Chain A
Amino acid sequence: MDGFSKYLAQRLFQFFLVLFLGISLTFLITKLSPVDPVEQSVSLMTSFGATDPRAVELMREALAELYGLQGSLFEQYINFWSRIIVGDFGPSLSSFPTPVMSLIMAALPWTVGLLLQALIISWCLGNLLGALAGYYRSNMLLKLSGALVMALHPVPAYIIGLVLLLLFGFIWPILPISGGAQMNLPPSFSFDYIRSLILHGTLPALTLVLGGIGSWFISMRSLASNIVTDDHVVYAELAGVSSGKIFSQYVARNALLPQLTGLALSLGGVFGGAVITEFVYNYPGVGRLLIQGIYRGDYSLVLGVTTISIVAVAVAVLIIDLLYPLIDPRVRLG
């Protein structure tokens, strides 16, 4: 147990170090951004009405004070950390005075819901196809689906999204192409609402699945085709164990374990949103929030989203590192 405590302590130290470095770096980069939220607001307010130049000056001063952007960079940095510890990213500059945290919290369920199912589907499907293709190397059907997956893999997500949008929104208009749920339907656990969620999530999820399946497929196939030549597989074949059993219990099962780390990392990445897909389907998730934040120079929002994403990935890595010995019996703590 002593070994485990030591490992745990070491791993936790590393975890906090990663958080510290990552978040500090992001803070610095956001502060270097030339997009000035005060100017952004001023131009928004003045772009449509008659403008008195003296009034603009006044407005600029008032906004800088309101947004709390005074003080040296170091002071802002210290201030930032003291707030971030309690999960407060301050008010959003572009959606003043709504707190960044509540914007993210509003967007998070959408993104997590969408990405989680898409990720899990593409992970399962990609790994299943990849393992099958790695094991049954001469099956024509698998070769065909493998070729299909490989051909889809390099197609940019934006194109996949647009083509699906065209196919199912226009040529054969059976699915909604914009938004997260039906309009004027209050969120509830009703059949209508859930059906509406599923319908609206289908195309974005399909885009993510088609786009994400390829990399799982490729890595799984190479893992599986390596394992096929391992002694324990050859032995099981000699023992006349059925090929289905060999596939599931001797090949896929062993190849899946390294893929779990990738899954954990991707799960952490869910909190950063799927920028392009949410952009195409106007899905009210974190990715769209992030892009809007960048467009509007709202760096408290951008900082909030990236920080949460960093924490999520770091936690996912930590969890998988701590759990791995339980999942994979070969790994012993030492």
Chain B
Amino acid sequence: MLKVLRDLLVYNREFAIGFVLTVGIFLFALAHFWAPMPDSAIYLLPPDMPPSAQYWFGTTSRGQDVLWQMSSAIWNTMLFGLTVTVISRLLAVIVGMVSGYLGGRWDQFLMTINDTMIALPNIPILLLVYFVMRDSMSWPVLAATAALLGWNYDARLIRSVTLSLRNREFTRHAVFAGMSVPQILVRQHLPYVMPVIFFTAMNNLIWAIGIEVTLSVLGFSDVNRPTIGGMIYWANQHQAIIAGIWWWIAFPIIAVVLLFLGLFLLAISVNEYIDPRSRLSRMGA
């Protein structure tokens, strides 16, 4: 595993850039555990200070250091986003592959559920769930709700890939060789599905961050907890863009973009590494 990582780092420029970006931002986010002040405290610093040697990314109109706010915000937002992505990927992969491989009644049953979920409008449902849960709506619950809404389209995609693999030669071989269904799915088919998972994961992560920001901007989130959406919410409350406090919004957005690019580069390079087709084409025949 370490060797693979080293090889990827040394020999794949995209991976190296992606890795540096992602790890860099991860470390930056991790740093919030050592922040010199609690991330919910306000007016401990002079407000509205532009970026300077003392406050690298400036301070907010609430007297907070943008640097440390961002650190916490990225951590919390990524935690949310990745939770959504991981849960929804698991659901999509399981439903998609089982549905595609088993077919028949299972397929019909699962795809009916799937199609029902596809037809549900995300934002209204999330808002409604927030209203119902209100105080007990912690971020993990929100993440779970978002995950439940965010897997269905990709499950269809994965199903179609699995469907095409079902009739391939190697699947028949595996069946004759006495492999069980989970074994076939995991060992034989998963590598083909992996690229789909990576790419849908990227879109899903962006979608999840978008959900977080949307709910925050509309004021439906826990504003005590610094997140990217929470920072935008507060900046908005203080009319930061109009008042010229651009650093309050610009730096978090830049961080999100960099993180996204990092993850994207990681996804395409890792994808290339494990994609059976591109591996075959590399080997020659």
Chain A contacts to B: CB under 8 angstroms: 14, 17-19, 21-22, 25-26, 29-30, 32-35, 150-151, 153-159, 162-163, 166, 214-215, 218-219, 222, 226, 229, 261-262, 265, 268-269, 272, 275-276, 279, 290-291, 294, 302, 305-306, 309-310, 313-314, 317
Q: Please indicate the chain A residues that have their CB under 8 angstroms from the CB of B195 in the complex.
A: 222
Contact B241 A156 (CB under 8 A): no
Could you pull out 12 A-B pairs where Cβ atoms are within 8 angstroms? A14-B115, A29-B128, A34-B132, A153-B260, A156-B209, A275-B123, A302-B124, A302-B128, A305-B124, A309-B124, A310-B120, A313-B119
A29 to B264, CA, bound (A): 36
Contact A14 B112 (CB under 8 A): yes
Contact B218 A279 (CB under 8 A): yes
* Stretch in B26-34, B44-52, B97-105, B249-257 touching the partner: B249-257
A264 to B262, CA, bound (A): 31
Q: Please indicate the chain B residues that have their CB under 8 angstroms from the CB of A226 in the complex.
A: 277
Q: Please indicate the chain A residues that have their CB under 8 angstroms from the CB of B120 in the complex.
A: 22, 25-26, 310
Q: Separation in Å of the B211 CB from the closest CB of chain A?
A: 10
Binary interface encoding of chain B residues 126-153 relative to chain A, with 1 for a CB under 8 A from any of its CBs, else 0: 0111011010000000000000000001
Q: Separation in Å of the A31 CB from the closest CB of chain B?
A: 9
- Selected from B115, B206, B213, B217, the residue in CB contact (under 8 A) with A153 is B206
A68 to B263, CA, bound (A): 52
A276 to B124, CA, bound (A): 12
Contact A154 B121 (CB under 8 A): no
Chain B contacts to A: CB under 8 angstroms: 108, 111-112, 115-116, 118-121, 123-125, 127-129, 131-132, 134, 153, 156, 195, 199, 202-203, 206, 209-210, 213-214, 217-218, 228-229, 232, 241-242, 249, 253, 256-257, 259-261, 264, 277, 281
- Selected from A151, A218, A306, the residue in CB contact (under 8 A) with B202 is A218
Contact A18 B116 (CB under 8 A): yes
Contact A265 B153 (CB under 8 A): yes
Contact A18 B115 (CB under 8 A): yes
Q: Please indicate the chain B residues that have their CB under 8 angstroms from the CB of A314 in the complex.
A: 115, 119
Q: Separation in Å of the A216 CB from the closest CB of chain B?
A: 10
Q: Separation in Å of the A108 CB from the closest CB of chain B?
A: 14
Contact B199 A222 (CB under 8 A): yes
Nearest 8 A-B pairs (CB), nearest first? A154-B260, A156-B213, A272-B121, A309-B121, A313-B119, A32-B132, A314-B119, A29-B128
A293 to B22, CA, bound (A): 40
Q: Separation in Å of the A236 CB from the closest CB of chain B?
A: 18
A166 to B243, CA, bound (A): 11
Contact A33 B115 (CB under 8 A): no
Q: Separation in Å of the A25 CB from the closest CB of chain B?
A: 7
Contact A150 B129 (CB under 8 A): no
A219 to B118, CA, bound (A): 18
Q: Please indicate the chain B residues that have their CB under 8 angstroms from the CB of A21 in the complex.
A: 116
- Selected from A35, A159, A214, A279, the residue in CB contact (under 8 A) with B253 is A159
A293 to B124, CA, bound (A): 10
Q: Please indicate the chain B residues that have their CB under 8 angstroms from the CB of A262 in the complex.
A: 153
**Nearest neighbor of B203 in chain A, beta-carbon distance:** A215
Q: Please indicate the chain A residues that have their CB under 8 angstroms from the CB of B259 in the complex.
A: 154
A309 to B210, CA, bound (A): 20
Contact B132 A33 (CB under 8 A): yes
A121 to B156, CA, bound (A): 25
Q: Please indicate the chain A residues that have their CB under 8 angstroms from the CB of B127 in the complex.
A: 294
Contact A219 B199 (CB under 8 A): yes
Q: Please indicate the chain B residues that have their CB under 8 angstroms from the CB of A158 in the complex.
A: 213-214, 217, 232
